[in-house]
Copies of this chain bind each other. A is one copy, B any other.
Amino acid sequence: MGKLVIVGTVAFDAIETPFGKTDKILGGAATFIGLSASHFNVDATAVSVVGGDFPQTYLDLLSNKKIDISGIEVVKDGKTFFWSGRYHNDMNTRDTLVTELNTLADFNPVVPEDYKDSDVVMLGNLHPLVQLSVLEQMAQKPKLVILDTMNFWMDCALDDLLNVIKKIDVITINDEEARQLTGEYSLVVAARKIYEMGPKYVVIKKGEHGALLFHEENIFYAPALPLEEVFDPTGAGDTFAGGFAGYLAKTEDYSFENMKNAVIYGSTLASFCVEKFGTERMQDLSNSEVHKRLMQFKQLTQFEIELT
């Protein structure tokens, strides 16, 4: 059982979908990653920052999932990062309505002493300099470093992003971002170009179309579970990353074959995330529900073919 460092936002989200809208609710990349990774009972810490306005009940919620929160700085006279967005009818596109960085603007991540020897580091979507700072605090090279990022950093901080990408093992980005990062339309060619930037493994998230894992000449494709209804996609990518990182930290097997399973776990957990607003579905998700859905994933994708 490996130890896991998670860095990312812990935040307030306000979400509008065709199904309804929320006030400020619990959100943030580190929150979704942590809730997802907690299903593997790994020893995990969340490194983040919040303001004095952040409810203790939200911090307790993470603690109760056995996520160490000593790395979450509370800036008493500051305000918590706030994001608000509205999804379009197809749920695949959204408009950002509000982004208030607040305490995140001056965030200096501090990895708790006990976690500096962690095996797995999950760098959630944040400024690449913050991601780099976390890496540099590790006492030794972790066995696996996973980085999630987004187009925003490609637009505004590409050099910093490329600098941290050099030092990681796995990158998780979506299809459009992979195309933007490489200038290649074919995801096969894009993955190959990303290898040259540093990561030996590339995970490309395609939302309702699933996720692809690339390593050398190998490809694995996990479809997304077709759902009757996507209620709120917020956090699905982070939930995927949390399941991926949590499974690998638990099993301590960082091979391509085992990463296939990590992708399946990530996809399974993400399929729950979108069923309710924000973190709601993930808060009370039981292991037996996860196991049941894993069986559905097997039925969805596994076949027995005889060559004719």
Q: Lowest 7 A-B CB distances belong to which pairs? A: A209-B209, A221-B223, A260-B303, A188-B228, A261-B305, A188-B226, A221-B300
Chain B residues closer than 8 Å to A195, beta-carbon distance: none
Taken together as a complex, chains A and B put the C-alpha atoms of A257 and B304 apart, in Å, by: 9
Contact B185 A89 (CB under 8 A): yes
If A220-B300, A294-B307, A308-B250 touch, whether A227 touches B188 (CB-CB below 8 Å) is yes
Contact A303 B40 (CB under 8 A): no
Taken together as a complex, chains A and B put the C-alpha atoms of A224 and B186 apart, in Å, by: 13
Q: Which of A282-308 contact B (CB under 8 A)?
A: 291, 294, 298-305, 307-308
If A185-B90, A212-B226, A228-B188 touch, whether A264 touches B303 (CB-CB below 8 Å) is yes
Taken together as a complex, chains A and B put the C-alpha atoms of A90 and B206 apart, in Å, by: 16
Chain B residues closer than 8 Å to A264, beta-carbon distance: 303, 305
Contact B303 A291 (CB under 8 A): no
Is residue A97 within 8 Å, beta carbon to beta carbon, of the partner chain?
A: no
If A90-B185, A228-B188 touch, whether A298 touches B307 (CB-CB below 8 Å) is no
Chain B residues closer than 8 Å to A220, beta-carbon distance: 299-301, 303
Tell me the smallest distance from the CB of A255 to a CB of chain B, in Å: 12
Is residue A61 within 8 Å, beta carbon to beta carbon, of the partner chain?
A: no
Tell me the smallest distance from the CB of A205 to a CB of chain B, in Å: 13
Q: Which of A17-76 contact B (CB under 8 A)?
A: 40
Taken together as a complex, chains A and B put the C-alpha atoms of A189 and B230 apart, in Å, by: 12
Taken together as a complex, chains A and B put the C-alpha atoms of A230 and B185 apart, in Å, by: 10
Chain B residues closer than 8 Å to A294, beta-carbon distance: 305, 307
Tell me the smallest distance from the CB of A213 to a CB of chain B, in Å: 10
- 26 pairs of residues in contact across A and B, judged by CB atoms under 8 Å: A90-B185, A186-B226, A186-B227, A186-B228, A186-B230, A188-B228, A189-B228, A189-B229, A209-B209, A209-B210, A210-B223, A220-B299, A220-B300, A220-B301, A220-B303, A221-B223, A221-B301, A223-B223, A251-B308, A261-B303, A261-B305, A298-B305, A301-B301, A301-B302, A301-B303, A302-B302
Contact A261 B188 (CB under 8 A): no
Chain B residues closer than 8 Å to A305, beta-carbon distance: 261, 264-265, 294, 298
Chain B residues closer than 8 Å to A212, beta-carbon distance: 226
